[in-house]
Amino acid sequence: MKIQWMLILILTLSNSVLAAPSKPAPRKPKEGQNEAAIRHHKEGLRHRDAAWVYEEKMSGIEGEDREKYARFIQDLYNRALGEFAKATEQDSTYYQAFSSLGYVKRKTGDMDGAMAAYNRALTLNPNYAEAIEYRAEAYLIMGQVEKMKKAYGVLAALNRPHAARLLTFVTQWADSEENDADMATSLRAWASEKKEKLGEVKTFVEKW
């Protein structure tokens, strides 16, 4: 019962209480820019950040309570998806919203939709590091290791914090019990080598 009330309460919390800082922050409207799209993106980030909070809480929970958390997290991602979709409908040039849309599509199991959204974001802004990183993670999940490595090379030259975060994702993905042991060993070695070459990087705090 306590967990059910906690899950209900999260929907009523204000943005300042609910959401951890996210990158990128929603754009400030410029003259002639679609403010509705920015509002939808901001609301989507609020739901996405809430999902991250509950993913952290779920890590130490088992049984039926874990299932409740999982369902609630998926609901939050679906809410975020709806808001990001509205943002891209309102502003077809909003590359940040397309990147965010790709992320939540991936988290809700739509890999094809995720790739389409990432590709759209990078068509609009080829140097948008977040979309490059997230698409690289999707490449890895789909087994397209060489494409992921190529994307890492781009990130290492373009945005070292995002490159470092991709390496962290690769290592954690390799540690998953579901993955091929030989591939996991190879990826860990690759990530370790790249991390050493990349050197010390001050990364921002954000989940993927």
pLDDT of amino acid 60 = 79
Domains along the chain with CATH numbers: 1-27+35-126 (1.25.40.10), 129-208 (no CATH)
Instruction: Give the Cα separation of 189 and 101 in Å (integer).
Output: 32
**What residues contact 20, with CB distance under 8 A and at least 6 apart?**
49, 52, 53, 205, 206
Which one-letter amino acid corresponds to residue 63? G
CB 68 within 8 A of CB 114: no
Instruction: Give the Cα separation of 49 and 103 in Å (integer).
Output: 12
Structure tokens at 174: 């390799």
Structure tokens at 161: 């914090």
Instruction: Give the Cα separation of 149 and 155 in Å (integer).
Output: 10
CB 37 within 8 A of CB 94: yes
- How buried is residue 56: exposed, middle or buried, by Cβ count under 10 Å (0-12/13-18/19+)? exposed
Instruction: Give the Cα separation of 190 and 37 in Å (integer).
Output: 40
CB 208 within 8 A of CB 165: yes
Q: What is the pTM of this model?
A: 0.81
User: pLDDT tens digits for the chain (208 residues)?
Assistant: 555 545 544 444 433 333 333 344 445 545 446 899 999 999 999 999 999 999 988 887 888 888 898 999 999 999 999 999 999 999 999 999 999 999 999 999 999 999 999 999 999 999 999 999 999 999 999 999 999 999 999 999 999 999 999 999 999 999 986 778 899 999 999 999 999 999 887 655 444 3
